[in-house]
Amino acid sequence: MSQDIELPLTIVTRIIRSALPDSIQVSKDAKQAFSRSTGVFILYLTATANEIAREAKRSTVTAADVISALEELEYADFVEPVNKALEVLRKGAENKKSSAKSKKASKEAAEEEEEQNATDEKEEVQDEADEEKEEKEEKEDKEDKEDKDEMVEDAREEEPKEETTEAMEEDGEKQTSDDTKPDSMEVDV
């Protein structure tokens, strides 16, 4: 048999140490024997599970096929631990999936909040610009009104002068015209 069907020695050593007390030593040859044995067992179990899948007219070997193969190979004692391991694996996958969903939802919520904040910030900037524009227009309107009021006041101040000047001119004309009246109108008695 080639090394292709052997598990890595580090994994085999870890499994052996978890099964045996610390006081027990395992030789390098024993570790390799375990590694080759597990490879052979996996091949045998795979071939049997594949036959079960083909009999069911499926091209995919499922976990149920592996459990059926263990029972068929008379390793029924392994069924319960394998089922427990599968259950743990499936729960882990569910947790990972729900965790991924919650992370995705959190990420989407954060992005949505960020977009909302950006929109709010843009609106705030626009509101500030609008307020500044309004204030500027009000200031210009106020200045225009003050200018108009000032012009009206100036015009009012000049009006009496003009009237006075006009009145004086008229009075002057009257006096002049009175002076220019012929004396013939005077009667000598």
Handedness of CA 174, 180, 183, 184 (dihedral sign): negative
Instruction: State residue 165's pLDDT score.
Output: 59
In the structure, what pLDDT confidence band is assigned to residue 155 with cuts at 50, 70 and 90? confident
Instruction: State residue 75's pLDDT score.
Output: 92
Contact criterion met (CB below 8 Å) for 109 and 101: no
| % pLDDT > 70, the chain | 80
Single-letter amino acid code for the residue at 104: K
Instruction: Give the span between the Cα atoms of 56 and 126, in whole angstroms.
Output: 69
Say if residue 92's pLDDT is above 90: no
Map tokens 């044995």 to a residue: 37
Instruction: Give the span between the Cα atoms of 138 and 140, in whole angstroms.
Output: 5
Instruction: Give the span between the Cα atoms of 81 and 48, in whole angstroms.
Output: 19
Instruction: Give the span between the Cα atoms of 169 and 76, in whole angstroms.
Output: 136
The CA–CA distances, whole Å, from 62 to 5, 40, 86, 161 equal 21, 20, 11, 113
* Interacting residues of 88 by C-beta distance below 8 A, sequence separation 6+: none
Q: What is the pLDDT of residues 98-144, one digit of tens each?
A: 777 777 777 877 788 888 888 888 888 888 888 888 888 888 888 88
Q: What is the pLDDT of residues 32-54, one digit of tens each?
A: 999 999 989 999 999 999 999 99
Quote the tokens at residue 25: 């030593």
Single-letter amino acid code for the residue at 41: F
Q: Highest mean pLDDT: which of 8-17, 45-54, 155-164?
A: 45-54
Instruction: State residue 79's pLDDT score.
Output: 92
Task: Give the number of other CB atoms < 10 A from CB of residue 75.
Answer: 14
Instruction: State residue 188's pLDDT score.
Output: 55
Q: 147-180: string of b/e by CB count within 10 Å (b at 16+)?
A: eeeeeeeeeeeeeeeeeeeeeeeeeeeeeeeeee
